[in-house]
Amino acid sequence: MATAADIAKSLAAAIGGNDPEVTVDQFLPSGFPPLDHASNSNWDLGAFPVGRMIEIAGPPSSGKTALATAGMAGAQSMGGIAGFMDHERSFSLRLAPRLGLDTTPGRFIFKTPKTFEESLQICVVAATHVRKNKLIKKDAPICWVFDSLAAMVPQSAYYEMKNGKAVGVKSLEDRNMNDNTALARATSNAFPAFSQHCEELGICAIFLNQMRTDLNVKFGDPRKTTGGNAPEFYFSQRLWLSAAQIKKGTEIIGMEVTGKYKKNKIARPFQEASWRFMFQPDGTGKFDRQRSLIDFLEGLEAINKGTKAGTIEWEGKQLPKDHVARQLEAEGEKGFAKLMALLPAKYEPPIVIEVDTDEDAPVVAA
C-alpha cells in the first residue's frame, strides 16, 4: 500500500498539490470596536471582510448606508478604492464627505446601473482593470456597495428580450408572474461566480437590503430579506439591524441600533453590538461612537456608574455621559484611545437567545 506521501506525490503530477486555504486576513473598519468584535472576535481588526460578500439589512433610518460608507472610507484609508451602485437613486454625493468618504473620481466610483447584471459586471470589470494595471497596491482593498439588493432589477424583468438580446424596455403591461421571481433566479445564477471574483480581486462587496415580513411565520422572527434563497448561502456575513427611537422630549433625535449577525462564517454567529446613530441638522447621520462605547464599557463595569442617573465616574469626577463623550470627541482619536484602553483583553460575549422583532420598538431616553 502507498503511503500518504506517495499518494500526494503521485496526485501532484496529475492535478497539482493542495490549494491554500481561502481565509480572510483583511477587514475594513466600522469605527466601533464592539461591532468589530462581533464580526471577528477582535476589537481592532475591523468588521467587514475583504474578499467576501456580506449583507447589511434593516429598517429605514437605521444607518445601513452610513455603516457601508464607513467601510468605503476605511478601504480608501488603507490605500484602496470604493464603489457605490445607487439602485435606489438616493445616495448624496454632497453629504457623503461629511461621513469621511473621499468622493474624488478615481478614489470613488459612483454608478446608477439599470439592472442587476449590469451592476455586477461594472464591479468586476472595474476591479479587474484596477488589479491588472496595478493602479493600487496589491494588498489595498476594494470596497463595493450595492444599494440595495431589493432595488436591483434583473435584466429579464427590465428589458424585452428576443433570441437572448434586449430589443426594448419592458412595459408594465407586459410584466408577468416570472418577473416576480426574476431577482431570486438572477442571484442564484450570478452569485456563485461573483463570490469567486470577490475573493480573487480583493473586493469587499456590501449588499444593503430591505426587510420584509413573512406572514407565514407564527413563532420566532418573521423578518426576511429580498433576493431569494441564494444570498443566504453566498453571503459570508449577514448583519441584520433593528432600531429603537432616541427621543429628547417629543423630538426624535436618533436611533439606538442593534446589529446582530444572523450568519457569520468568520467567527461565531448570532453575536450583537449596539450603538447610537444620531440625526444631524444637515441631513446626515452620525455614529456617536464615543457615547456608544461608554455605554458598552459601563455595561461591562469597566466604567463605574455615578450616583446620579446618566452619570459615570470619569477622571475622579462624576460627569454626565454625554459630557464625557463630547469631551473625548473633541480630543479626536487620542480621546477615543482612552476608551479603547478600557476594553478587556479577553472578552466572551454573552449567549444571545432572545428573538429580535420590530414590533412595538421601544423608545430610548436621550
- 250: pLDDT strictly greater than 50: yes
Q: What is the pLDDT of residues 38-65, one digit of tens each?
A: 999 999 999 999 999 999 999 988 889 9
**Low-confidence winner among 75-79, 264-268, 348-352 (lowest mean pLDDT):** 348-352
| pLDDT tier, 163 (very low <50, low <70, confident <90, very high otherwise) | low
- pLDDT, position 218: 80
- 167: pLDDT strictly greater than 70: no
Q: Which residue has the higher pLDDT, 176 or 308?
A: 308
Average pLDDT, rounded, for the chain: 91
Q: What is the Cβ-side half-sphere exposure of residue 22, based on CA atoms within 13 angstroms?
A: 12
352 in a structural domain: no
- pLDDT, position 356: 47
- pLDDT, position 359: 46
181 in a structural domain: yes
What letter does residue 151 receive in the DSSP assignment?
Answer: G
| Residue whose C-alpha cell is 442593534 | 258
Claim to verify: residue 109 and residue 37 sit in the same structural domain:
yes
Claim to verify: residue 34 and residue 100 sit in the same structural domain:
yes
| pLDDT tier, 303 (very low <50, low <70, confident <90, very high otherwise) | very high
Give me the CATH number covering residue 226.
Answer: 3.40.50.300
Claim to verify: residue 303 and residue 228 sit in the same structural domain:
no
Mean pLDDT of 239-267: 94
Claim to verify: residue 293 and residue 277 sit in the same structural domain:
no
Claim to verify: residue 259 and residue 292 sit in the same structural domain:
no
**What percentage of the chain carries pLDDT values higher than 70?**
93
Claim to verify: residue 211 and residue 294 sit in the same structural domain:
no
| pLDDT tier, 180 (very low <50, low <70, confident <90, very high otherwise) | confident
The total number of structural domains in the chain stands at 2
Claim to verify: residue 303 and residue 270 sit in the same structural domain:
no
65 in a structural domain: yes
Alpha helices in 172-306 (DSSP H): 177-180, 182-201, 230-234, 289-299
| pLDDT tier, 280 (very low <50, low <70, confident <90, very high otherwise) | confident
103 in a structural domain: yes
192 in a structural domain: yes
- 357: pLDDT strictly greater than 50: no
d(CA 287, CA 366): 14
Give the H or E element holding residue 259: strand 251-264
Burial of 339 (0-12, 13-18, 19+ CB in 10 A): buried
Mean pLDDT of 142-167: 85
356 in a structural domain: no
Q: What is the Cβ-side half-sphere exposure of residue 234, based on CA atoms within 13 angstroms?
A: 24
**Low-confidence winner among 17-21, 67-71, 338-342 (lowest mean pLDDT):** 17-21
Claim to verify: residue 159 and residue 213 sit in the same structural domain:
yes
Q: What angle do CA 6, 10, 16 make, to 5 degrees?
A: 125
Mean pLDDT of 258-268: 95
**Burial code of 64-103, b = ≥16 C-beta within 10 A, e = fewer?**
bbbbbbbbbbbbbebebbbbbbbbbeebeeebbbebebeb
| pLDDT tier, 195 (very low <50, low <70, confident <90, very high otherwise) | very high
d(CA 304, CA 323): 15
| pLDDT tier, 1 (very low <50, low <70, confident <90, very high otherwise) | confident
- pLDDT, position 353: 59
Mean pLDDT of 232-255: 94
- 330: pLDDT strictly greater than 50: yes
CA distances from 272 to 36, 40, 264 (A): 10, 12, 12
Claim to verify: residue 245 and residue 310 sit in the same structural domain:
no
**Low-confidence winner among 7-11, 70-74, 126-130, 166-170 (lowest mean pLDDT):** 166-170
d(CA 62, CA 267): 24
Claim to verify: residue 262 and residue 320 sit in the same structural domain:
no
- 78: pLDDT strictly greater than 90: yes
16 in a structural domain: no
174 in a structural domain: yes
Claim to verify: residue 166 and residue 182 sit in the same structural domain:
yes
d(CA 63, CA 276): 10
**Which residue range(s) make up the domain with 324?**
288-344
CA distances from 184 to 24, 157, 190, 245 (A): 27, 12, 10, 33
What letter does residue 172 receive in the DSSP assignment?
Answer: G
Mean pLDDT of 121-147: 98
Residue 18's φ and ψ, nearest 5 degrees, are -65, 140
Claim to verify: residue 124 and residue 201 sit in the same structural domain:
yes
> What dihedral angle (degrees, nearest 10) is formed by the CA atoms of 20, 26, 32, 34?
20
